[in-house]
Structure 1
Amino acid sequence: PRPLVSFNCHDIGHKSDVCPNKTSRCDKCGHDHNKDSDCELQPKCHSCGGSHVANSNDCPKRRIPPKRRTTHTATPPQENKTNKPAPTKGAPGPSQVILTTP
């Protein structure tokens, strides 16, 4: 995803329709002058100060770091896993009980 960028002032964090700046900035040089005029100045990004136009994909401020992917490791299958409760030590299991009749 791309960050919110105002094409009016070229600040990051809001869009043009809610831009608090009354004057627009040139997307090439970052100065406050008419965007419709052909700018003869050297490119300078308003966001980071780099030597590129404000809407360049090369701007480090416009990059959002990718979310870290978590790798899920598969758990090995349990051997002889049943729903039976584990036998307790000292107590005989059902097959070990000997019934005696009088």
Structure 2
Amino acid sequence: MLPASDPSAASVDAFPTRAARPLVVLTAAQADGIYRHRFAVAHELGHLVLHADATGDSRQEKQADAFAAKFLSPKDSILPFLPRRMDLARLAVYRCRELGLISDTTASRT
């Protein structure tokens, strides 16, 4: 991982390089969750696989995000776990509980 003292580490989760061999370097900038690190690595792998001429434009970033999402949660694997219909009220309650804005008891009553 890139040391937190490196100025570029503050705004970058990870980046790929094609030095002697392809390599993904993680930074400590967003070390708050393993899932974010996993996504960052899969995103950079997407750049290595898809973009020999990586320019970092928004199209390439969207492609790398799509690659990471499909790599980490393939449709056939994730589909059985997803709701058939979006329930925004339920999502809001879940997020409020997750952020500590409401208790588990309050969340279970809503």
Instruction: Select the structure that is richer in strand.
Output: 2
TM tier relative to shorter chain: under 0.3
Q: TM-score, normalised by structure 2?
A: 0.19
Q: Which has the higher helix share?
A: 2
- In terms of Rg, which structure is larger? 1
The TM-score normalised by the length of structure 1 is: 0.20
